[in-house]
A and B are shown apart, each in its own frame.
Chain A
Amino acid sequence: MFFTYLGRELRRRARQASIIAIGLALGIGLVITVTALSSGVKNAQGEVLHSLYGQDTDITVTKAPTFGSFSAGGSTRFRFGGTGSGTRPKAGTKVTIDNLTSTGLSSLSAADVTSAAKLTNVAAAAGGLTLTDTKDSITIPSSTSGGGGFGGGGGGGGFGNFHPPTTMTVDGVDVSGNAAALGPLSSAKLASGRTLAASDSNSDVVLLDSNYATSNKLKVGSTVTIAKTSFKVVGLVSQAASSNPPDAFIPLARAQALGTASGKSLKGDVNTIYVAANSAQNITGVSKELSALLPKTTVTNQNDLAKQLTGSVASASSLANNLGKWLAIAVLAAAFLLASLLTTAAVSRRVREFGTLKALGWNSRRVVGQVVGEAITIGIIGGAVGVGLGFLGSALVGHFSSSLTASLGSDTGSATPGGARFFGGGGGGFPGGGGGGFPGGGSGVNRFRSALANNSPTIHVHLTPTISGGAIAAAVVLAIAGGLIAGGFGGWRAARLRPAAALARVE
């Protein structure tokens, strides 16, 4: 009888029921579309951000260089010989320089990586080195202004035939265990050959960026010289250009053995720690713990970088989270109110009917149950149509939206005080020599921080709204809630009816 009565009643007031259902459908459809849009924007942001520091990395730790830690200053000095004041080579001698150096970031120890990995809520931690391999060959000129060092680039002490050195950015990556899933290599896609394995830890093997390989006519099997050491190319990877990717990846142990920072060996050191939290909810907490553990470092997480995103992806995010969210809430609230008013009005028109039922022995609970059942049925119909509208809305947004753009701002926890800057490379050397420096060495700064500079590239991502199972479940809950609210108002009205008063009403 319940369903028979319910179905007949809804058929009788089909127009009113349709209005209520459409109102609920619009509200729910808008909620789903906005949720899908937010999800799509988040995915777009994630695509941008993950390309910078790796798929599974949530937090990075770096350390700004201390003032004076580099030999860069107003001038550079070229020194010869092991003691730094060695004998100048003969005029006409061709000198080849190939240095692997860390610039722009101070070193952190392997012990720091281990300590970070042991923190609560840390799933994994890995160290990495962001280095620059600088190559140049110069011919010693015939004239000299005396022994010792020369002012770089100045007056009669200048070098003939000066040309800028060639640089190659090299990342030393930890390929052992869980660490292999962290860092920029994790978001690179293998294009040919193979990736680095744990067994390569002490091998002279290299992965090249496929664009770099193409530009330099290199392929799998080729040989590349890094810090005067021959590395065999075992694979090529493709990386998002937006992430300012390194040209090459070598095993961390080899990078530590060959690299230097301010003339000192990098053995046992890293200059970036990549950390993965065990859940998204713990990222902020882990960031705080890392800051406490390593107080003089810069800890940056996804949320910090997300705040710096500019461009239409940021606008879309703002639109979805602010205007979109509140618009959806307003429409849904209006739909609930409309449903409640119309349901209460329908109950008022059925006063005599409900009074008769009560006279026949129907208790208030049965009468209210009938009213609530009708309202929930309308809600479910509205919800189903709303889900359909949500899918349609999301599809339309995805189809008609142009690609989003994203850039990163310059002012965000950069490891280099005051923003990313180029420092003179350290640790250069002439044959037999120790210190020395080059003006304007290649960018050894942390990659994503270099992307934070004002001249960071604009990244294009496509917006793909995503409807999750959770959103559909939420729609069902909203539909039932809408029905319950409307039915509650109507049911309350019906429950208060006294049979005698109801039967006395003239319709």
Chain B
Amino acid sequence: MYKLTNVKKDYQKGRGVVHALQGVDLTIDDGEWLAIQGPTGHGKSTLLQMLGGLDRPTSGSIQFGDPVSGGDLAQLRETQVTKVRAESIGFIFQTFNLIPTLTAQENVEVALVPLRVPAAERRQRAAAALADLGLADRARHLPSELSGGQQQRVAIARALVKEPKVLLADEPTGNLDEGTRDEIIGLLEKMWRDHHLTLVLVTHDSTVARRAQRLGIMKNGKLSIKQDTRSQAASAPGAGLQAGSLG
């Protein structure tokens, strides 16, 4: 799904330059679950933004998709990158990032608007996505009327409703308590398996990271792979963690 070649990202900060990514080389296969761990400020989120086309690297290439239908996210025009995000990439954020004035259902529908899905179909797909995540009875509630775990489930529904190829999650359990964290991670694992997604999850939580097939460590802008269990049976979840109930 991805091939990153010598990707670098520098930021101007005052009089100095911050080297957020220092030549990252990475290949992510279709259907793979990659977790990226590391201390704060070492480039995890920056790498995720590169994968999502939310920002451009200073140098290097980010090949997305197959060589025929895909493209280098670093070279594509803004409109083309936006189209890739709309069609193929789902995002989950630490702070949920739901639109506060829209209901749960409308927040999920928002992801289908760029795809010009007719209104009736949008409503039907959004309702189905929420129902899959056990939130059918919360469809008309505003985010302020939902718990943290429910809000993150709405965000997951929003990410999945467009049937993306890739799901990028930036600290999805960072704002949740332990019980809810387990629930959400279990849910993400289920979605990854059921939808054959490529899942890249950034976390500082080792418990979460160990559940992935592959674990990369970001340190000082460089990525090293610590764990690779792709050759093992991929269906086994991490020890001690079960997919939580959806209630």
- CB distance B101 to A359 under 8 Å? no
CB-defined interface of A349-375 with B at 8 Å, one 1/0 digit per residue? 000110011111111101000000000
B49, B86, B122: which contacts A360 (Cβ < 8 A)? B86
Shortest distance in angstroms between B158's beta carbon and chain A's nearest beta carbon? 7
**A4 is an interface residue with CB less than 8 A from chain B:** yes
On chain B, the residues within 8 Å of A4 by CB distance are 102, 106
A352, A360, A366, A500: which contacts B55 (Cβ < 8 A)? A500
On chain A, the residues within 8 Å of B119 by CB distance are 1
Shortest distance in angstroms between B58's beta carbon and chain A's nearest beta carbon? 13
Shortest distance in angstroms between B171's beta carbon and chain A's nearest beta carbon? 12
**B97 is an interface residue with CB less than 8 A from chain A:** yes
A353 to B87, CA, bound (A): 20
On chain A, the residues within 8 Å of B162 by CB distance are 361
Q: Which A residues between 492 and 507 are near B, CB-CB below 8 angstroms?
A: 498-501, 503-504
A8 to B102, CA, bound (A): 7
A501 to B82, CA, bound (A): 16
On chain A, the residues within 8 Å of B99 by CB distance are 5, 353, 356-357
**B39 is an interface residue with CB less than 8 A from chain A:** no
- CB distance A361 to B83 under 8 Å? yes
Q: Is the interface of A mostly helix, strand, loop or mixed?
A: helix
A358 to B109, CA, bound (A): 14
- CB distance B93 to A360 under 8 Å? no
Q: Which A residues between 1 and 56 are near B, CB-CB below 8 angstroms?
A: 1, 4-5, 8-9, 11-12
- CB distance B101 to A8 under 8 Å? yes
On chain A, the residues within 8 Å of B97 by CB distance are 352-353, 356, 359, 503
A504 to B122, CA, bound (A): 29
Chain B residue, CB-CB nearest to A13:
B101
- CB distance B106 to A499 under 8 Å? no
On chain B, the residues within 8 Å of A5 by CB distance are 99, 101-102, 106
- CB distance A9 to B101 under 8 Å? yes
- CB distance A360 to B114 under 8 Å? yes
B82, B83, B87, B113: which contacts A358 (Cβ < 8 A)? B82
**B91 is an interface residue with CB less than 8 A from chain A:** yes
Select the residue from A360, A364, A366 with max chain B CB neighbours within 10 A.
A360
**With A12-B101, A356-B97 as given contacts, are A361 and B111 in contact (CB-CB < 8 Å)?**
yes
B54, B83, B101: which contacts A500 (Cβ < 8 A)? B54
**With A8-B101, A357-B110 as given contacts, are A363 and B55 in contact (CB-CB < 8 Å)?**
no
Chain A residue, CB-CB nearest to B97:
A356
Q: Which 8 A-B pairs have the closest CB atoms?
A: A361-B86, A8-B101, A500-B55, A361-B114, A356-B97, A500-B54, A499-B54, A500-B49
Q: Give B residues with C-beta under 8 Å from A.
A: 45, 49, 52, 54-55, 78-79, 82-83, 85-87, 91, 93, 95, 97, 99-102, 106, 109-111, 113-115, 119, 122, 158, 162
